[in-house]
Amino acid sequence: MLDKLNEDSWAVILQYVKLKDQYSLMQVSEEINAIVQINWKYIKEAHIDENILREFHKEPSKMHDFLKSACKSLKRLLLRGPFLEVLLPSWKSYDFPMLRSLDCTTWFAYEQDDNVTLLLTELFPNLTKLKLQNCNHGHHLWNFSQLQDLYLSSSSLDTPTLDRVFSSLPLRKLALFPFPTSDVGDLSLVWKCFTLEELLIDDFNLTFNMLSNLLRLPRFKRLFFYTRDYYYNYMSDLGCLKQEFRVRSLLFNSCSWYFHDLGLIIARFSNLCRLVIQDDDINKKQLYVICSNLKRLEELHLIDIREFPFASDMWNMVGACRTLKVLNISNNELDEFFLDESITCLNRVLRRRDADSPVTLYTHKTRLANDPQKTIDALNHPFLRISFDPVHVDTLTKSDRAFIETEFI
């Protein structure tokens, strides 16, 4: 049956077949073997994982057959596993003119990892996006003259290296995660990276001086950090730097419950338009303080809150925020009387709103979504829209770890 498929059908099928499985297909027949190799001439993305690298190490001819066909068309490449320091030197026989994105994790190379980085700069000089995870020290990265997006996990980064990376690369997005036990140089030198727009980092590396210099960059607009206990200092530092007015959006993931006075802290961000609290906890008093003080708040996302407020409390905070346009209560366990109680609040809360500024209530994966028509009929009001669709919250990560993300004006 497989032999009866034409080349166009194979081209479609092979888009969804992993490289290691393509090698298995090649054993079926000489015809399929030829079809797979022809398809490699047009392949745009390849994932070369531990298993494939071990095969390449045992039989280098397999690697060279692939590279000979694929090198001209590849745009995105994942390399993950051992033997890269041994295999990559032979890749110098090929050109990769289209390759722009590389995700590379080396195993067991240790002292060779900086040499691997040097090889990568020689093989793929046109990269604009790089994710590099190993025991490198950041050396040679400055040779990627077109790099705009860098995710770096390293064993150490000294000050001269940071200086050269920040001042040489046209980075727009930087994720910097040196090992927790690493020696890290002067990260405040980030001010030399004039093109930087987004930064992802661990909270213990985000010093006051670094934050101060970040917020002086002309294009910088988004800061994300994994947090353990730095969050409070961060909020205080923004106040000391008189930068609270620049905060347009705040997202708390599994960390807002640390704040005993979160409402008062957030209320200081006078230009806040979007607030997201997910997989977290916040009480009704804090929410009311936020909603009654922020005069520009347009979106409030309360997702998977540990103890969601009663309906009357929720509608009171809506009433306190005349600018609110989106209220997302998805993935919450609502009280069994939530709908009935909401009915009694609607007119009192919404009648004071402008007709051209209705509130959209998102109820995906809540009790209200179990019977959509009943909910629509019960909450029928000219100034209210009901949606049962999932909401995509734009964030820089999908991690379950505690983090805070800030977007600046």
- 196-245 confidence digits (pLDDT tens): 999 999 988 899 999 999 999 999 999 999 887 667 788 889 999 999 99
Q: How far is CA 391 from the centre of its chain?
A: 16
Q: How many residues does the chain have?
A: 409
Helix (H, G, I), strand (E, B) or coil at 375: helix
Query: Which 8-state DSSP code applies to residue 309?
Result: P
CB crowding 382-396: b at 16 or more within 10 Å, else e? ebbebbbeebebebb
- Least confident range from 71-85, 119-133, 169-183: namely 169-183
Residue 204: the pLDDT is: 87
Structure token pair of residue 66: 């692939």
Residues 6+ apart with CB under 8 A from 105: 79, 80, 81, 132, 133, 134
Yes or no: say if 362 and 327 are a contact pair by the CB < 8 Å rule: yes
Residues 6+ apart with CB under 8 A from 41: 69, 70, 72, 73
Residue 111: the pLDDT is: 77
Residue 6: the pLDDT is: 61
**Hey, CA dihedral for 342, 347, 353, 356, is it positive or negative?**
positive
Residue 172: the pLDDT is: 97
Q: Tell me the pTM.
A: 0.88
Longest dimension (CA), the chain: 76
Residue 5: the pLDDT is: 61
Residue 3: the pLDDT is: 57
360 closest CA partner among 379, 378, 344, 343: 379
Cα dist from 31 to 12, 27, 34, 361, whole Å: 17, 10, 5, 57
Per the prediction, the chain carries an average pLDDT of 89
Instruction: With a cut of 80, say whether residue 108 has pLDDT above it.
Output: no
Q: Is 112 left (phi over 0), alpha (psi -120 to 50) or beta?
A: alpha
Helix (H, G, I), strand (E, B) or coil at 242: coil
Helix (H, G, I), strand (E, B) or coil at 26: coil
Structure token pair of residue 399: 């991690």
- Three-state secondary structure readout of 64-111: HHHHHHHCCCCCEEEEEECCHHHHHHHHHHCCCCCCCEEEEEECCCHH
Instruction: With a cut of 70, say whether residue 363 has pLDDT above it.
Output: yes
pLDDT per residue over 20-72, tens digit each? 777 766 667 777 777 777 788 888 999 999 999 999 999 999 999 999 999 99
- Looking up tokens 């046109």, which residue turns up? 126
Over residues 72-91, the mean pLDDT reads 94
- Least confident range from 22-31, 125-134, 331-340: namely 22-31
Measured between alpha carbons, how far is 257 from 202 in angstroms, rounded to an integer? 19
Instruction: With a cut of 70, say whether residue 10 has pLDDT above it.
Output: no
- Three-state secondary structure readout of 196-226: CCEEEEEHHHCCHHHHHHHCCCCCCCEEEEE
Measured between alpha carbons, how far is 53 from 41 in angstroms, rounded to an integer? 20
Measured between alpha carbons, how far is 64 from 204 in angstroms, rounded to an integer? 44
Instruction: With a cut of 60, say whether residue 127 has pLDDT above it.
Output: yes
Helix axes 311-320, 284-293, angle to 10 degrees: 20
Yes or no: say if 129 and 101 are a contact pair by the CB < 8 Å rule: yes
Residue 304: the pLDDT is: 93
* Residue 260 phi, psi dihedral angles, 5° rounding: -80, -15
pLDDT per residue over 266-304, tens digit each? 999 999 999 999 988 888 999 999 999 999 999 999 999
User: What percentage of the chain reaches a pLDDT higher than 70?
Assistant: 91
pLDDT per residue over 395-404, tens digit each? 767 667 788 9
pLDDT per residue over 143-188, tens digit each? 999 999 999 998 889 999 999 999 999 999 999 998 877 788 999 9
Query: Which 8-state DSSP code applies to residue 272?
Result: -
H-run or E-run covering 22 = helix 19-25
pLDDT band at residue 356 under the 50/70/90 scheme: confident
- Least confident range from 155-159, 315-319, 341-345, 383-387: namely 155-159
Instruction: With a cut of 80, say whether residue 365 has pLDDT above it.
Output: yes
Residue 67: the pLDDT is: 95
CB-based burial label for 282 (10 Å; 0-12, 13-18, 19+): buried
Measured between alpha carbons, how far is 137 from 152 in angstroms, rounded to an integer? 10
